[in-house]
Amino acid sequence: MNNPSPTEAAVAATTPGIARRWRPTPLIAGASALHVGAAAAVAFVPATWPWAAGSVIASHLVLVAAGLWPRSALLGPNWTVLPEHAAGQIALTIDDGPHPDVTPRVLDLLDRHGAQATFFCIGDAARRYPQWIEAIVARGHAVENHSQQHRHHFSLLGPGALRREIQAAQNTLAEISGVRPLFFRAPAGLRNPFLEPVLCELGLTLASWTRRGFDTRTREPAVVTERLLRGLAPRDILLLHDGNAARDARGEPVVLGVLPAVLEAAAAAGLQCTTLRAALTSATLAAQPASPAGTRVAPDRLANIQSDGTRTTGCPTPHTSHGNRRR
């Protein structure tokens, strides 16, 4: 019998938008045990303090390194690919908006190609340009949480500050779009061990990417396109930007030169662009055990859970989603 992948196990253990109980990953549990052991060693044999201090410092360095690796699942579940059932699909994710000039043009390109995308939006930008949050949802795309202020020192925040930053964006985006986000992406993908407990509390799932084009720094659309399409495969999650987009030699946002080529290549490969929200909902339905009557929770009931997102339950903690395909 085939065992479920880590991604499928994580999906099966959660309900979209519902808080879940946090349990530490093996790395975090091991680091905690090491701290306790080091303290006990110093208490009973004070002369061991150099070894104890060195081991504690080493564990902190490992935790920091895990947080600096955006695609790592060492600190908690992390979507780096779509669930296994999404075999004929990819996900376009577009960060740092909305932007009053770029976002509407990105939406027009997506409409032209009949593609859906996930927009990870900044709360403050959404407050400034609410009409484009409304347009994203009205045109069939998904709005997800990219923090309220997109602070450059986000990964240095403690649990209280993380909670306030993410909750503020939840409230902002839900108020404007009418739908509570189900996913969170950290600014620059950087995080620390305090993030996952906050996401569990708020019913959010961390998402990174399979491949990125570095379109905030690279000014050549062809180079960005090649990075995204090299080895493109089903279930890939691609990262682009409508906010903070680099400009090409003509002064045009790079994303506008990249999107048509990516969408055409995906269509030629028979890959449909879906949203992370749609992939999660479908995976959750597929993972539900059938009742004695052979029924499952109706999709409209799941949709109600997604839009509400305020109830809590003692749901089991998901297993770590590794998504170990390197890009």
Q: What residues are annotated to the active site? A: 95, 241
Instruction: For residue 297, give both structure tokens.
Output: 């929770």
125: Cβ contacts below 8 Å, ≥ 6 apart: 96, 97, 98, 99, 243
Alpha helices in the chain, H assignment, sequence order: 6-12, 26-44, 49-67, 102-113, 123-128, 130-138, 159-177, 195-202, 221-229, 254-268, 276-287, 299-308
* Contact assessment for residue 95 and residue 238, using Cβ atoms and an 8 Å cutoff: no
DSSP code of residue 309 = -
Strand, helix or coil for residue 65: helix
**Lookup result for tokens 């987009």:** 245
Q: Please give the Cα distance from 212 to 241 (Å, whole number).
A: 10
Is the backbone of residue 183 left (phi > 0), alpha (psi -120 to 50) or beta?
beta
Alpha-carbon Rg of the chain, whole angstroms?
21
Return d(Cα 83, Cα 8) in angstroms, integer. 6
User: How far is the C-alpha of 306 from the C-alpha of 28, rounded, in Å?
Assistant: 29
User: Which residue bears the tokens 């390197």?
Assistant: 326
Report d(CA 240, CA 230) in Å as an integer.
15
